[in-house]
A = this chain, B = another copy of it.
Amino acid sequence: MPKLGMEPIRKAALVKATIIEVGRTGSLDVTVSQIAKRAGMSAALAHHYFGGKEQMFLAAMRHILTLYGAETRGALALAEGPQGRIQAVLTASFSAANFRRETVGAWLNFWVLAQTVPGARRLLSVYQRRLRSNLMAGLRPLAGPRAEALAVGLGALIDGLYLREVLKDGPPDAAAAIATARAYLAANLG
């Protein structure tokens, strides 16, 4: 059976399956067997390709951050002017993809992991740096020297609004979150 070049295919399937299973249970209490089964292979093969459970989780989170990065770049490409750039970041941050059960589960558990797993913490700071840099590009022309402080506040506000939308009862309201973030900006720029 050995069709060569299986590795990337298998790894991709496992990453996808990991994200689904973590989203389904809402926790990292997912067995390698469950993941492997959903990905259509044996648990032994999952170990063969990833070496362990933690590495599977990190690969899954890396994948989610990659998608988020792509979405952000896509929105930025269409943006016009500093205001447009900021709006693009907000749109990407509160996109439908980020409110899918699987993405939510990944993020919340990722934060838990970042407490103790160096690899997770590194990944998190990559995300935060990228977010800040994207915000700064829009803020610098509008706020000058205050851009730095505004980016810190806006970044935290985005995370906080996401947390609340995601854990509240009823469906999340991306538009409301974006409106609150824009109000923050308006107050600081107007």
Q: List residues of A whose CB falls within 8 A of some B CB.
A: 25-29, 104-105, 108-109, 111-112, 114-116, 121, 124-125, 128, 149, 152-153, 155-161, 163-164, 167-169, 180, 183-184, 187-188
B residues in contact with A125, CB < 8 Å: 168-169
Closest 6 pairs (CB-CB, A-B): A160-B160, A156-B160, A26-B115, A26-B116, A159-B160, A187-B187
Q: How far is the CA of A29 from the CA of B109 in the complex (A)?
A: 13
CB-nearest residue of chain B to A158? B160
Q: Are B164 and A159 in contact (CB under 8 A)?
A: yes
B157 close to A156 (CB less than 8 A): yes
For A156, the chain B residues whose CB sits under 8 A away are: 157, 160-161, 163-164, 180
Tallying the copies of this chain within the complex gives 2
| A105 cross-chain contacts in B, Cβ below 8 A | 115
Closest to A25 in B: B116
Whether the pair A163, B121 counts as a contact (CB closer than 8 A) is no
Q: Given the complex of chains A and B, what is the CA–CA distance between A15 and B109 in angstroms? A: 23
Give A69 Cβ to nearest chain B Cβ, in Å: 19
Point out the residues of chain B lying under 8 angstroms from A188, CB to CB.
183, 187
Q: Given the complex, which residues of B lie within 8 Å of A161, measured CB to CB?
A: 156, 160
Bound-complex Cα distance A168 to B186 (A): 28
Q: Which residues of B sit under 8 angstroms from A124, Cβ to Cβ?
A: 167
List chain B residues, Cβ under 8 A from A160.
155-161, 163
Q: How distant is the Cα of A116 from the Cα of B28 in the complex, in angstroms?
A: 13
CA distance A116 to B30 in the complex (A): 14
Question: CB-CB < 8 A to A153: which residues of B?
Answer: 157, 180, 183-184
Query: Measured between alpha carbons, how far is A152 from B157 in the docked complex, in Å?
Result: 11
Find the B residue at minimum CB distance from A176: B152
A89 to chain B, nearest CB (A): 15
Chain B positions within 8 Å of A163 at CB level: 111, 156, 159-160, 163
